[in-house]
Amino acid sequence: VMLVDLDGFKLVNDQLGHGAGDEMLRIVASRLENCLRGTDTIARMGGDEFLVLLRGLKGPDCTAQIAEKLLGRIAEPVVLEGQEFFLTASIGVHSDCRGIETEALLRDLDNAMYGVKSDGKNGYRFVSRDGGDRIGTRLTWQSRLRRALEGNGITLHYQVLVDVEQGTVLGMEALARWQTTTDGFIPPSDFIPLAEESGLIHQLGEQLLRNACSQGAQWLADGIDTGAMSVNVAVRQLRHEQFVPMVEGILEQAGFPPSRLDLELSETMYIEGEDEVVAKLERLRDLGVTVSIDDFGTKYASLAYITKLPVDRIKIDKAFVDGLPDDIGSAAIVSAVVSMAKSMDLDVIAEGVETREQLDFLLTNGSPCIQGYYCGRPVPADRIPDMITNRTYLPTPRLRAPHATDSEPPHDA
Ligand code: C2E
Ligand code: CA
Ligand code: CA
């Protein structure tokens, strides 16, 4: 049995009125219903509280999985009156309630559910017969992420983008890093989705953008030309009403020229048909900011749509570069993408270049702009000035400045 109570639902009612609140409840109810089987039962107990009865589950692990699933479904954004809302819920769970009085059961569920609320909400907790509580992992990670964010525990590393033919640095990509004391390094591929799911991405994205722009401005002030600063932006961030003013404000505060900011967007297929989002990209480009399509080729994106998107550059995903030069499919895709980009007057960068052979293929196919361990791994900001001055990002001594001596490609960090 699960007692599901929405977090912060009162706010929806207060802000949008009861009509919208009712609509929200209907949406949540049907989401919950869709997670359940025909033999399960769901009831609204009143207010924003639902009771779920599940039969024949194989033990607490299975029950926990369902609680996770319910939380995941509830966390998906709800669009009401043109605005995006993020809801979470707190769940009390009893995995074996045979022979327990209804009243006692509800009281226990209530206690477990309130335990989740007081621990920061958005999670589940078991009422177990032995009295030991188990807390959902989602809750712990999410509140840890929030804390890390508030304590500036998420930092940036920078990786060079290089035009190998010209021997110049095109720019830097700012990549988020989360170093914890207890669990070591947590990769962005783990915590960015968590941030997106919980809505924390807005706050996180803003903080990282601010840090990247101030760092870029600092390098400029120090007379170190690091080119453009590329910052990753999640589609969800773009949908935020205040996204464009936020970017403008940050650029102004940091004193960083808009023409030096590049925004990398992945999953552009999700914005197909979202005119408002496309208009925002256009506004940003009017300011001088450039836009890149990240991970190009891995996610479905119709070519017809790409031609309509206001973008400046595409980044060929590492998945294709990996196969170079021997894999026929990868080679065909890379050269097709390069010539397509050229005919569309888009810049192209190959990501994840690790070997001389990959680079040679790219050079032969007219794609001299690369990013990858071959030129340099992502490193902390203080490592960059030396890299620029000594041109250690250039792969061979032949291409390097006379005073640089080491001949191995840098494998830092
Ligand atoms: P991405 O934007 O495609 O970033 C490139 C990733 O490839 C980085 O991983 C980088 O370290 C890695 N990489 C670069 N060159 C090579 C190479 O030669 N070999 C290999 N094996 N890997 C290479 P990282 O830093 O772990 O980032 C993973 C993803 O997390 C990024 O993929 C991006 O989608 C996301 N991410 C990172 N920082 C942010 C951020 O600030 N905001 C958002 N929204 N997403 C971010
Ligand atoms: Ca990127
Ligand atoms: Ca990428």
For the stretch 268-278, pLDDT in tens is 777 877 889 99
pTM of the model: 0.71
**Is beta strand 88-94 parallel, antiparallel or unpaired with respect to 313-316?**
unpaired
Q: Reduced to 3 states, what is the DSSP secondary structure of residue 340?
A: helix
Ligand 1: which of 192, 201, 321 to mutate, most ligand atoms within 8 Å of CB? Answer: 192
Q: Which residue's C-alpha comes closest to atom 22 of ligand 1?
A: 352
Percent of the chain with pLDDT over 90: 58
| Bridge partner list, 351 | 371
Minimal-distance CA residue to ligand 1 atom 19: 352
Query: Any idea which residue has 């989602």 for tokens?
Result: 138
Q: What is the mean pLDDT of residues 235-242?
A: 90
Q: Among 41-50, 136-145, 215-224, name the one with the lowest average pLDDT.
A: 136-145
User: 369, 211, 365, 346: which is closest to 290 by C-alpha?
Assistant: 346
Radius of gyration of the chain (CA): 25
Q: Which residues pair with 7 in a beta bridge?
A: 88
Total residues belonging to the chain: 413
Q: What is the per-residue pLDDT across 395-409, written as a single tens digit (0 to 9) for each? A: 765 555 444 444 444
Q: How far apart are CA 47 and CA 90, in angstroms?
A: 14
pLDDT digits (tens, 9 = 90+) for 76-114: 888 888 888 888 999 999 887 777 888 888 888 988 888
- The pLDDT, as a whole number, for residue 251 is 98
Q: Which pLDDT tens digit goes with each residue over 356-386?
A: 999 999 999 999 999 999 999 999 999 999 9
Provide the token pair at 346: 């888009």
Q: Show the ligand 1 pocket: residues with CB < 6 angstroms.
A: 159, 175-176, 187-189, 192, 208, 232-234, 264, 266, 294-295, 352-354, 371-373, 378
Task: Give residue 279 CA to ligand 3 midpoint distance, Å.
Answer: 23
Higher model confidence: residue 327 or residue 147?
327
Question: For residue range 134-185, what is the model confidence (pLDDT) as tens digits?
Answer: 445 455 677 788 889 988 899 999 999 999 999 999 999 999 999 988 778 8
pLDDT digits (tens, 9 = 90+) for 312-321: 999 999 999 9
Please say if the pLDDT value at position 249 is more than 70. yes
- 10/140: higher pLDDT: 10
